[in-house]
Amino acid sequence: MWIFKFNIVAFMLLFVWQCNTVALQDVTSDLFGVENYGTVAAFGDFYADKQTDIFIIREQSEVLIFFADSNKPYFKPKVNISKNNLPRGTIITSVVPGDYDGDSQMDVLLTAQSSTKMTTVFIFWGHNQTLDLGGRFTLNMTFADQPLVMDFNGDMIPDIFGVTDQDPLTKVCYLTNRSPECQNALTSPVKMRIPNSNAFIDLNKDFTAGKSVKFKQCFDGNFTRADIMPTESPAVKIVGQSTFVDFDGDGYQDHLLPVCEDAACQRSAIYLAKSGSKEWVPVLSDFQRRDTIWSFVAAKPSQPLTLHHGDYNLDGFPDALVILRNTSGSGQHAFLLENVPCNSASCHSVGRMLRIHWDQSDLGAIQNAVMATFFDIYEDGILDMLVLSQAEGKNDLIIHALKNNFEADAYFVKVMVLSGLCSNDCPEGVKPFGVNQPGPYVMYTTVDSNGDLKNASAGQLSQSAYFSLQLPYTLLGLGRSANFLDHLFVGIPRHPGEMDIRKKEWTAIIPNSQLIVIPYPHNKPRSWSAKLYLTPSNSVLLTAIALIGVCVFILVIIGILHWQEKKADDREKRQEAHRFHFDAM
């Protein structure tokens, strides 16, 4: 009988799972326990175990690295850069993990603001899965704004790019082998907006990241200026941070820009510029919900208007999370913007637009939200959310973790490109994992469920300043098509002036898998290797349970039938014996 019950339980589980789509669930205490405060500043696999760890700033002066763990709480503070490890009075403005010296172990770069408003850069070197806290390195150059971490010379070791205070020239600093070397970066002086939203990404699909400086120019191949995107911002009063995603699924990166139309920021909009087009197209301008008009929050220069992207419903089109405030009241909440087909004339040329999810009560329940981003909590390929809120009388922000219980039959592919400085023979026997590599570019083409050709692309870690909070891998949704992925292309930056494009194509990738690409050696894409990890989803597990249940059930029925037959046989034999007895009489 219990077996029967078990089947019913499995069936009910399946049923409940189906009903529960798009619901969010607060899992903060499972994730952080009582440590759920501070500013989430960056993500990266510091421990080199293929699990993403979280970097959190506390009281603007301490950085804690929370390691992912298999027991609750799933994130535990393990490494602590305290006040004592930094000069007195340092105010930390951002954290950018990466392998700056090229030893395939993650280092941690901090930017700090000094009293002169200049940005200083500190680096703590990583060693043996921890940080060398005593050996702080300070770059002897200060920047006018937070620098961009990018791979300027195409050697797959992150470099630091920014504008210095001495002259308006751009500088790039290399730290290979811990010997710092700074040079002039771009030949012509550029005036950059502060706060900047510089990005290092492939705009023209040549699989080489080019650098983009907002509204001034884009820099191509060997960083010559190329006017791929509009050079002027739309005619608005407040301009937010640029982001680059493949918004319409054509394989090219589009430029998204949140703005306020007026100085008081009462009217907001999000504009998009397609690659190769000089025109700004509004993809969201209706911020009214019943009597309330919502708008972006343009209060603090340290937290500019920002979109955080992620494909939460795995349909192949990136969605976004934003913070909006009630323009007539004081409420401030996080909202999910879903990427949907365009239904008005203004966005016709893009074909897609954003729609605000007004009824996401779990997000609305978080009062005074100040930042919201996507994060894959359980490494299951479904993006969950982290929301930071300001509580009254507290210095630090409160962290809320919301699990996305999205369980439609949608598929994804997760690609992480490593530095490829070594593969199996890394120095000191370290694993090649755990380097946040800026610049690689990932693109797929496949056939969707309607039989149409579909493309999507993404750049890995294209931005680093002002809490861009990008994940150290790319997660591309595939929609409901469970087909093998026909073509997956991965490209990495090349040396300036080099002609050969460094890219490799993989075919027939299984959906719902994680691909870790080791581009070693850099200049021989044929030898690059990829490790494929499958992520069994909940539905697969449930199917397995249900299947085993059914098997057991059938076995039991067979057993019962067998037993009944045996009993009948026995009875027959006994009767026969009886008859024989009679006959004998």
Ligand X SMILES: *[C@@H]1O[C@H](CO)[C@@H](O)[C@H](O)[C@H]1NC(C)=O
State the residues that interact with ligand X by CB under 6 A.
62, 64, 77, 80, 82, 84, 128, 140-141, 221-222, 224, 250-251, 292, 326, 328-329, 331, 445, 453, 455, 497
Q: Which is nearer to ligand X, 7 or 292 (CB)?
A: 292
Q: Which is nearer to ligand X, 66 or 520 (CB)?
A: 66
Q: Which is nearer to ligand X, 169 or 545 (CB)?
A: 169
The DSSP bridge partners found for residue 163 are: 170
Q: Which is nearer to ligand X, 181 or 262 (CB)?
A: 181
- Inter-residue contact 467 to 306 (CB < 8 Å): yes
Distance CA 44, CA 50 (A): 9
Of 105, 91, 211, residue with least CA distance to 149:
211
Q: Nearest distance from residue 514's CB to ligand X, in Å?
A: 24
Q: Nearest distance from residue 207's CB to ligand X, in Å?
A: 12
Of 438, 502, 442, residue with least CA distance to 221:
502
Q: Nearest distance from residue 14's CB to ligand X, in Å?
A: 35
Q: Which is nearer to ligand X, 173 or 201 (CB)?
A: 173
The DSSP bridge partners found for residue 321 are: 308, 336
Of 271, 471, 268, 481, residue with least CA distance to 382:
471
Biggest distance spanned by C-alpha atoms of the chain: 125
Q: Which is nearer to ligand X, 18 or 328 (CB)?
A: 328
Residue nearest to ligand X (CB): 329
Of 308, 343, 365, 309, residue with least CA distance to 23:
365
Q: Which is nearer to ligand X, 445 or 543 (CB)?
A: 445
Q: Nearest distance from residue 517's CB to ligand X, in Å?
A: 20
Q: Nearest distance from residue 480's CB to ligand X, in Å?
A: 17
Helix (H, G, I), strand (E, B) or coil at 471: coil
For 558, phi and psi rounded to 5 degrees? -60, -45
Tokens encoding 31 = 């994730």
Distance CA 471, CA 42 (A): 8
Q: Nearest distance from residue 54's CB to ligand X, in Å?
A: 13
Q: Which is nearer to ligand X, 76 or 355 (CB)?
A: 76
DSSP string covering 480-504: T--SPEEEEEEE----TT--S--EE
Of 231, 345, 223, residue with least CA distance to 280:
231
- Inter-residue contact 514 to 416 (CB < 8 Å): yes
Q: Nearest distance from residue 120's CB to ligand X, in Å?
A: 12
- Inter-residue contact 119 to 465 (CB < 8 Å): no
Q: Nearest distance from residue 465's CB to ligand X, in Å?
A: 21
Cα angle, residue 103 at apex, residues 163 and 460 outer, rounded to 5°: 55
Distance CA 365, CA 389 (A): 11
Instruction: Report the length, in residues, of the chain.
Output: 585
Of 330, 273, 346, 334, residue with least CA distance to 306:
334
Q: Which is nearer to ligand X, 316 or 549 (CB)?
A: 316
Q: Which is nearer to ligand X, 360 or 463 (CB)?
A: 360
Q: Nearest distance from residue 390's CB to ligand X, in Å?
A: 17
Q: Treating both helix axes as pointing N-terminal to C-terminal, what angle do 2-19 and 538-584 enclose, rounded to 10 degrees?
A: 160
Distance CA 533, CA 125 (A): 30
Q: Which is nearer to ligand X, 14 or 144 (CB)?
A: 144
Count Cβ atoms within 10 A of the Cβ of residue 497 and give its class: 0-12 exposed, 13-18 middle, 19 or more buried.
exposed
- Inter-residue contact 476 to 445 (CB < 8 Å): no
Q: Nearest distance from residue 65's CB to ligand X, in Å?
A: 11
Q: Nearest distance from residue 562's CB to ligand X, in Å?
A: 58
Helix (H, G, I), strand (E, B) or coil at 159: strand
Q: Which is nearer to ligand X, 255 or 403 (CB)?
A: 255
Q: Nearest distance from residue 70's CB to ligand X, in Å?
A: 18
CB atoms < 10 A from the CB of 46, how many? 29
